Amino acid sequence: MKPFILLLAIISFAACSSDNDIPGDIIGIDKMKVIMWDMIRAGEMAQNNFTTDTAKMAKRSKELFLQVFAIHNITKDEFYNSYHYYESHPDKNKILLDSVSNYSNRRRMDMFNRLQ
């Protein structure tokens, strides 16, 4: 009878653990949304500056991405490790992308309100 109770306790404990937990080596959604927003803006800036020269655009994108990493005190590997984690977890990726979208809308509204 004791092995059954032990097995039941282990299953209960496993069932109670949260699937929403993000591993410690992964950048959390709140920080990642801001980083992704800055990465999108950096990519757009490079694309707007070098619309016809893709080699210069790629070089400038890389430089801007490294600046974003420095601003947020992360490494390229930390970012891409986290990015791939979110890609492989669609439920968390949806939350992240929705957060980026909402963050961009708030930033846009803030800029609009400052102009008035």
pLDDT classification of 38: cutoffs 50, 70, 90 = very high
pLDDT of residue 12: 43
**pLDDT at residue number 15:** 41
What tens digit of pLDDT does each residue of 42-79 get? Answer: 989 888 877 777 788 888 889 999 999 999 999 999 99
Alpha carbon distance 55, 20 (integer Å): 40
Q: What is the pLDDT of residues 82-105, one digit of tens each?
A: 999 999 999 999 999 999 999 989
- State the Cα–Cα distance between residues 111 and 48, nearest whole angstrom: 20
Phi first, then psi, for residue 78 (nearest 5°) are: -60, -45
pTM here is: 0.74
**How would you write the chain as a 3-class SS string?**
CHHHHHHHHHHHHHHHCCCCCCCCCCCCHHHHHHHHHHHHHHHHHHHHHCCCCHHHHHHHHHHHHHHHHHHCCCCHHHHHHHHHHHHCCHHHHHHHHHHHHHHHHHHHHHHHHHHC
Interhelix angle for 29-49 vs 54-71, to 10°? 150
pLDDT digits (tens, 9 = 90+) for 20-34: 588 999 999 999 999
Residue 113 is encoded by which pair of tokens?
């309100």
pLDDT at 93: 95
